[in-house]
């Protein structure tokens, strides 16, 4: 029996992040994956976002060929990273055998039993289809299946909110589809404040994406090649395909874990605490296995937190302090507290907002050329506790702003920081100055 400090079951983004972090900490680690490393997650994340490698006029079949090439490059790069880090990789179908053991079926005749001081489960999940909206091949499908479509639909309904549904809606629209986006929540991004949600919806309306917030699907009627959709309040329209970008369903293998003492929640999701520990001592779970699709940044952070705790450190995951980035036009990013969530953390929030035109004056009427910036601060300590950005450069700025927040930057320091030329830093400083003015208000 081979023994390691940590066993990682699943080679997606969260599992790879966990394995690499264990190796960084000097531990021996083995990663078990039955398929191509990171393939499913990469294709789900990038099926509609290969602008640098494709052209708008490229047909879907050609686009798919490029996606497969990029996927191969990605999986090869993951292999190389793991190899350089000294991570042992075993290809096979793994199953949790105990809190410290994983059984691996490599082929019909070869079987391994691996042992570790801790186990990290990262083998993913399936899309969950409701009883009123069951999966139907080619008609009602999941976000995971977009990359395998032989052709894109002329008209499509995306069901779900948040980052993944929003990106899918925009990606499909950019590929020429007429898109409806329906979500039951009032706001597309519940983690952001109302004014920023309104700005994102305006961006989508400009792209001619029909937003249907706070609406439940009542009925579907198949009429030839089209689906007649009826939402509550009597809204009706027709599409050719429905893509589910919402809840997740735990895999059947979770039942095996449950028999060993891993507690499951609704829809077979594995329950974890803030250290990513399951109810089974020594067994951690990361990624969508815990019940929802996680962004790149959150998947990586969960993997790191689980790895550090598996190696004897003590660290908790605070989801609000993980930058979230949606690849919209322009990009949307946020980190820390919003005006809605800050009171839950014990803060007395005050905000400052700035909106700037980023392009030339002739394009200033376009929302796509407009940036929006919000700084949220605590009125008592005057510390910055959250930032929201809509900008083409949002992905570059959010990690730096998180670092400043963690260092304890005050609103005054951010407002008066040395500014170089550029709309981004000036706009952030102006938002901070507006926040400073709000702090002075009674």
Domains present along the chain, CATH in parentheses: 2-126+248-317 (3.50.50.60), 140-244 (3.50.50.60), 321-440 (3.30.390.30)
Average pLDDT, the chain: 91
155-159: strand order across its sheet: 140-142, 241-244, 155-159, 178-183, 210-213
What per-residue confidence (pLDDT) applies to 419?
A: 58
Residue position matching structure tokens 């790895």:
307
Tell whether pTM > 0.85. Answer: yes
Q: pLDDT tens-digit profile of 339-396?
A: 999 999 999 999 999 998 755 443 444 444 578 999 999 999 999 999 999 998 999 9
**Residue 224, CA distances (Å) to 139, 221, 228, 240 in order:** 12, 10, 10, 10
Distance between CA 304 and CA 321 in Å, rounded?
Answer: 14
Distance between CA 422 and CA 442 in Å, rounded?
Answer: 33
Instruction: Answer whether residue 232 shows pLDDT above 90.
Output: no
Distance between CA 390 and CA 341 in Å, rounded?
Answer: 19
Residue 332, classed as helix, strand or coil, is: strand
Do 411 and 377 touch, CB atoms closer than 8 A?
yes
Helix (H) or strand (E) holding 236: strand 236-239
What per-residue confidence (pLDDT) applies to 407?
A: 94
What per-residue confidence (pLDDT) applies to 366?
A: 43
What per-residue confidence (pLDDT) applies to 103?
A: 95
Helix (H) or strand (E) holding 377: strand 370-378
* Proportion of the chain above pLDDT 70, given as a percent: 95
């Amino acid at each position: 029996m081979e023994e390691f400090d940590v066993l990682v079951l699943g080679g997606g983004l969260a599992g790879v992040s966990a394995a690499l972090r264990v190796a960084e900490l000097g531990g021996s680690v083995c990663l078990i994956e039955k398929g191509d490393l990171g393939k499913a997650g990469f294709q789900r994340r990038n099926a509609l976002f290969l602008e640098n490698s494709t052209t708008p006029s490229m047909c879907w079949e050609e686009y798919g060929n490029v996606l497969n090439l990029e996927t191969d490059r990605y999986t090869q790069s993951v292999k190389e990273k793991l190899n350089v880090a000294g991570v042992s990789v075993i290809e096979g179908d793994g199953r949790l055998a105990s809190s410290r053991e994983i059984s691996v079926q490599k082929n019909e005749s070869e079987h391994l039993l691996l042992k570790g001081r801790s186990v990290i489960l990262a083998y993913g999940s399936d899309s969950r289809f409701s009883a009123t909206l069951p999966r139907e091949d080619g008609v009602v499908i999941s976000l995971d299946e977009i990359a395998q479509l032989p052709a894109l639909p002329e008209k499509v309904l995306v069901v779900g909110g948040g980052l993944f549904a929003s990106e899918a809606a925009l990606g499909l629209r950019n590929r020429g589809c007429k898109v409806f986006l329906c979500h039951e929540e009032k706001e597309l991004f519940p983690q952001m404040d109302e004014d920023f949600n309104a700005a994102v919806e305006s961006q989508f309306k400009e792209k001619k994406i029909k937003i249907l917030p706070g609406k439940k699907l009542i009925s579907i009627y198949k009429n030839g090649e089209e689906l007649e959709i009826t939402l509550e309040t009597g809204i009706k329209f027709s599409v050719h395909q429905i893509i589910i970008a919402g809840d997740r369903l735990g895999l059947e293998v979770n039942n095996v874990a449950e028999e060993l003492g891993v507690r499951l929640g609704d829809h077979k999701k594995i329950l974890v605490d803030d250290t990513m520990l399951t109810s089974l001592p020594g067994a951690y779970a990361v990624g969508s296995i815990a019940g929802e699709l996680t962004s790149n940044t959150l998947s990586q952070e969960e993997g790191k937190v689980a790895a550090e705790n598996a190696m004897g450190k003590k660290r908790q995951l605070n989801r609000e302090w993980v930058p979230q980035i949606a690849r919209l036009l322009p990009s949307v990013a946020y980190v820390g507290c919003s005006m809605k969530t800050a009171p839950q953390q014990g803060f007395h929030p005050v905000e400052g907002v700035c909106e700037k035109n980023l392009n030339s004056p002739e394009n200033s009427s376009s929302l796509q050329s407009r940036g929006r910036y919000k700084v949220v601060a605590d009125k008592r300590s005057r510390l910055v506790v959250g930032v929201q950005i809509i900008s083409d450069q949002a992905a570059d700025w959010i990690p730096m702003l998180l670092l400043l927040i963690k260092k304890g930057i005050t609103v005054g320091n951010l407002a008066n920081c040395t500014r170089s030329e550029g709309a981004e830093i000036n706009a952030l400083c102006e938002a901070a100055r507006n926040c400073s003015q709000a702090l002075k208000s009674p």
